[in-house]
Amino acid sequence: MRPQALVTGGNRGIGAAIAIALAGRGFDIVIADLAHTEDTVRTTRAAAALGAHVAFVAADIADLAQHARIVDAAWAPAGRLDTLVGNAGVSVARRGDVLDVTPESFDRVLGVNLRGTFFLAQAVARRMLADPPGAAHRSIVTISSANAEIVSPDRAEYCFAKSALSMMAKVFALRLAPAGIASYEVRPGVIRTDMTRVAAPKYDRLIAEGLTPIARWGEPDDVGRTVAALACGELPFVTGEAVHVDGGLHIRRL
């Protein structure tokens, strides 16, 4: 039986690349996203072309009342789940001074990126612990950001959420390791997506000036292939680790 993965925010961008990469490694996929769109169709077709069965559940992870339905949808195809990829996230509506952050922006960003991500992972972990272990590697993979460490003063609330996800991944690692369930954090750097398009000229300039040792934009597939390797258990003696997919952005230099 094929391993099963739930990918939140899987319609497009990094989430779509993760779903497709997992499909290429033999996973069946459940995508959770806000609505079924043309992006869903494209991602589903690409994953299905690799042999995956793909299901979709329309849900907002910021609404905790919807989590039970997401979990049920994730278990429905095979009666189990092997991997949760907590990828869904939002950026700030408007970049600006930390002194101008509003409660509305703070609540929206942390509601999706931290609160919703944590409580969905909690619900999945509880269900995983109730299941007998199977042959497949089991894991929770949390997509954070280079902003877990690197400060972007013009989107402070985003940095707050991503830094907290880093600790969340470690806490889950300690709690779930006795059951053979790994917890990983993946930190994308400057990845070419709709979210970064607003700042593309800035990043083009910074990359040309040597922002990263690997002197190019990251692509969603760079993240997808990393997540797939982790979900397949290719690092069996690793848990609680942050994997940087950032071209070396995180490396300090003099």
> Is residue 254 a part of any domain in this protein?
no
Q: Assign residue 199 the CATH number of its domain.
A: 3.40.50.720
The confidence band for 26, taking pLDDT boundaries of 50, 70 and 90, is very high
Beta strands in 157-227 (DSSP E): 181-188
> Is residue 186 a part of any domain in this protein?
yes
Q: How many domains does the chain have?
A: 1
> Is residue 81 a part of any domain in this protein?
yes
**Model confidence at 225: pLDDT above 90:** yes
> Is residue 251 a part of any domain in this protein?
no
Q: Please indicate whether residue 158 is annotated as part of the active site.
A: yes
- Sign of the Cα pseudo-torsion (172, 239, 142, 157, in order): positive
pLDDT at 134: 85
Rounded alpha-carbon distances, angstroms, from residue 25 to 21, 29, 46, 50, 235: 7, 11, 13, 9, 15
User: By residue range, what is the domain housing residue 25?
Assistant: 4-245
pLDDT (tens digit, 9 = 90+) per residue, 153-209?
999 999 999 999 999 999 999 999 999 999 999 999 999 998 888 889 999 999 999
**Catalytic residue (choose from 75, 158, 172, 203):** 158
> Is residue 250 a part of any domain in this protein?
no
**Model confidence at 17: pLDDT above 90:** yes
Question: Could you give the 3-state DSSP secondary structure of residue 143?
Answer: strand
CB 77 within 8 A of CB 30: yes
Across 90-108, average pLDDT: 95
- pTM, rounded to two decimals: 0.96
> Is residue 238 a part of any domain in this protein?
yes
> Is residue 253 a part of any domain in this protein?
no
> Is residue 219 a part of any domain in this protein?
yes
